[in-house]
Amino acid sequence: MSEPTIRSIRVLTVMGNFEWPIVKVELSNGLVGYGECHRGPGIKEVLRRAEELIRGKEVNVEYLLRLIRKHIPNSEWGVVNNAISGLETALWDLKGKLTGLPVYELLGGRVRDRVAVYADLHAGAGITETGGRRWLSWPVLRLL
């Protein structure tokens, strides 16, 4: 049986205090991977061009990233690298799902037992405005 191939790349938008791009990559077997990139002009266009290059190919992360970088030159603003950061995360997410391994194992193994996590939702009931400062009313999350 052959490996599943890339069917589509889409950009989803989470609305906060700005549009937050989430890259969604779907495979021919229906499996989906997600990645996040920072907002910026041209993100959707770069990912549309990347989709044309990698649609129908298997999830070989390094090969696909090299292919994209070869055929889509980077701008002085770094929009290509910005878009690729979300795409790369989505591809690693898929590779982990395909192999049944956590992504940290694919990238060389665990290096720590605890990771501090910062949560900033930029809006919502958890933030109180006080004299121009924003205060979180929930504790900083920690992944144990």
Q: Assign residue 40 a region (left: φ > 0; alpha: ψ between -120 and 50; beta: otherwise).
A: left
CA distances, 10 to each of 26, 44, 65 (Å): 8, 8, 17
Residue 71 identity (one-letter amino acid) = H
Q: Write the pLDDT tens digit of every residue in 12-47.
A: 988 766 778 899 999 999 999 999 998 888 899 999
- Structure letter (DSSP) for residue 32: E
The pTM for the full model equals: 0.79
Q: Write the pLDDT tens digit of every residue in 80-136.
A: 899 999 999 999 999 999 999 999 999 999 999 888 877 665 555 444 444 444 444
Please report the pLDDT score of residue 67 as a whole number: 95
CATH superfamily, region 6-106: Enolase-like, N-terminal domain (3.30.390.10)
Domain boundaries, the chain: 6-106
- Structure letter (DSSP) for residue 81: H
